[in-house]
Amino acid sequence: MKIFSKEQIYEGDRLTIKKQNISSADLMERAGISLFNWLDARLQGAPVPILVFCGIGNNGGNGLVLARHLITHGYNVKTFIVDFSDKRSQDFLINYERLKGTTKDWPISIHDGDDLPLISDQDIIVDAIFGVGLNRPISNWVVNLFKHFKASKALTVSVDIPSGLFTDRVPKHEDAVVFSSLILSFQTPKLAFFLPETSKYVDQWEALDIGIDTQYLQDTETEAHILGKLDVLPMYKQRGKFSHKGEFGHALIIGGSYGKIGAVQLASRAVLASGAGLVTAFTPKCGYIPLQAAFPEAMVITDLDEEKITNIDFNIKPTSIGIGVGLGTDEKTLDAFETFLKSNTVPLVIDADGLNSLSKNNKLLKYLKEDSILTPHPKELERLIGAWEDDFDKLKKTKAFAKKYKVLVLIKGANSIAVYQDKLYINSTGNPGLATAGSGDVLTGVITGLLAQGYTALEATCFGMYLHGKSADIAIEFKGYQSLIASDVISYLGQAYLDLFELAEKPSAAPKQEPKSKNEK
Ligand SMILES: NC(=O)C1=CN([C@@H]2O[C@H](COP(=O)(O)OP(=O)(O)OC[C@H]3O[C@@H](n4cnc5c(N)ncnc54)[C@H](OP(=O)(O)O)[C@@H]3O)[C@@H](O)[C@H]2O)[C@H](O)CC1
Ligand SMILES: [K+]
């Protein structure tokens, strides 16, 4: 699913109004009705108090339309105008008058210095104060209103975007943003829903179709995408009836050091579980027996050194290579890594100590084969690209890095993000259970395994991170967050593949809720 920028959203509105020959108030009406329909379908007329807080721009206008429809359908509604500016948007004013014509309970204005309205934890707050038009820090009294929302513990539904959240930078203070239970976002989710520093304001989101011109939606290229099932399904390569293992590639995993051979085993197992035909592990000598004994499907080549890799020399012709898991950063290993990089021509995934070796000696970056895949977690990324101001700046710097060295950077996190040629691909699967030893090694194995099968770097990364997260999502149903271990992610990869062909679902921003135990109803 595409994630449109603020400018693209405004342009989409403008074009829709023009092409469909409607007024902007008509579009606002449509947006408001889509909010109403969504809520009405869930509330089914329940008499719960709904407090609609409206700003003075078009986001506020959306709130006014919603309030009007809720009132005419008999809901228990109170409307407030959060009067943070003397300005009023035209469509706000139109809908302000329409609301006054509908009910005797006219909106109540809230100003600086007023007492804040009572909110009970049973109420529903509708947050239609700021939308994508927020362009500067908000006043203290509005911050106090947001704090008041949070303290009430009431369910908070944000219209389009949580008020206070910018589309292009991280707010300085946590209190200056509404914590949403649910965002009903027009047409497209916003990038901020998925970044570590701003996703805390987002519990769940839904994208509501408000009839923006379909041609525009189809033709407009966006910088960011959120990858759900429908996005990765076209990448899937079907197997022919007469296919044999030679067609699915031969992956080589290079890594391991004394005490860290398990990382190589996990990555190699993940290679085969992702569908590659053959896997070879290249490790120090100490890896030979454990790997052969515990993982008979793998072939093993060893270094001459017992405990670490000192010379990467093999006489096979792999179709992909994953390097770095458990590798260590001994001087001799660094030299071997450098020699390897200078001569390698095979599609490559670099993880863990492979990345640390690159940051220790960044002259090596120029030897990276085009389209190499780097899979750093944020700390490893920082060592590679330097510090950043905030998450938006991090993406900007990562894009510049990826472009400069012609590589793909997968930033691991709750929503992993692949950065490739100026574009961002955000994964929608995965859960906090993945915060466990070895889950990164498994991801490296899955991506290397897909590369071996002929997936492009971008496909292997997007499809790989989706499958890896989906496998963990399926696994926690049985294991729970705490007990999920990296081996489970390998075990459930098959289920993740099968799930691709179950009915498609929509991506979700938030980490999954902890599943209820089987006895809990
Ligand atoms: N297709 C769609 O997505 C549609 C979305 N709609 C809704 O419109 C909003 C965007 O509306 P807009 O009027 O542009 O902006 P806001 O409502 O977010 O903000 C209103 C104005 O407030 C001013 N502003 C900004 N920051 C501050 C601040 N910190 N303090 C005070 N005032 C502030 C700013 O005006 P200035 O001239 O003063 O700079 C804003 O313009 C979108 O999110 C949707 O909810 C449409 O209804 C239909 C289609
Ligand atoms: K809002």
Which of 188, 222, 256 corresponds to the end of one domain?
222
The answer to whether residues 188 and 283 belong to one domain is: no
Residue 517 belongs to a domain: no
Residue 392 belongs to a domain: yes
Alpha-carbon distance of 380 to 390, in angstroms, equals 16
Residue 399 belongs to a domain: yes
The answer to whether residues 182 and 268 belong to one domain is: no
Residue 510 belongs to a domain: no
ipTM entry: 0.97
The answer to whether residues 104 and 201 belong to one domain is: yes
Ligand 1 mean position, distance from CA 519 (Å) = 47
CATH value at residue 304: 3.40.1190.20
Measured from the alpha carbon of residue 135, the closest ligand is 1
Structurally, the chain folds into a number of domains equal to 2
What pLDDT shows up at residue 504?
60
Residue 334 belongs to a domain: yes
CB 359 within 8 A of CB 334: no
What pLDDT shows up at residue 246?
79
The answer to whether residues 154 and 257 belong to one domain is: no
Amino acid symbol at 507: P
For residue 79, list its beta bridge partners. 52
The answer to whether residues 275 and 154 belong to one domain is: no
Residue 158 belongs to a domain: yes
Alpha-carbon distance of 337 to 329, in angstroms, equals 10
The answer to whether residues 215 and 248 belong to one domain is: no
| Lining residues, ligand 1, CB within 6 Å | 9, 12-13, 27-28, 31, 55, 57-62, 84-85, 87, 89, 130-138, 159-160, 186-187, 210, 212
Q: Is 139 annotated as a binding residue?
A: no
The answer to whether residues 322 and 406 belong to one domain is: yes
The answer to whether residues 178 and 303 belong to one domain is: no
The answer to whether residues 493 and 371 belong to one domain is: yes
| Summary mean pLDDT of the chain | 95
pLDDT in tens, 410-419: 999 999 999 9
The answer to whether residues 18 and 73 belong to one domain is: yes
Q: In 333-440, at which residue ranges do the beta strands (DSSP E only) sit?
A: 348-350, 373-374, 408-411, 417-420, 423-427
The answer to whether residues 168 and 312 belong to one domain is: no
What pLDDT shows up at residue 520?
37
Residue 515 belongs to a domain: no
Containing structural domain, residue 262: 232-236+244-499
Residue 196 belongs to a domain: yes
The answer to whether residues 277 and 197 belong to one domain is: no
Q: What sign has the CA pseudo-torsion 472, 478, 483, 485?
A: negative
What pLDDT shows up at residue 505?
59
Point out the residues of the chain with pLDDT beneath 70: 504-521
Among protein residues, the one with the nearest Cα to ligand 1's atom 20 is: 57
CB 493 within 8 A of CB 266: no
The b-or-e profile of 368-378 (16+ CB within 10 A means b, else e) is beebbbbbbbe
CATH value at residue 203: 3.40.50.10260
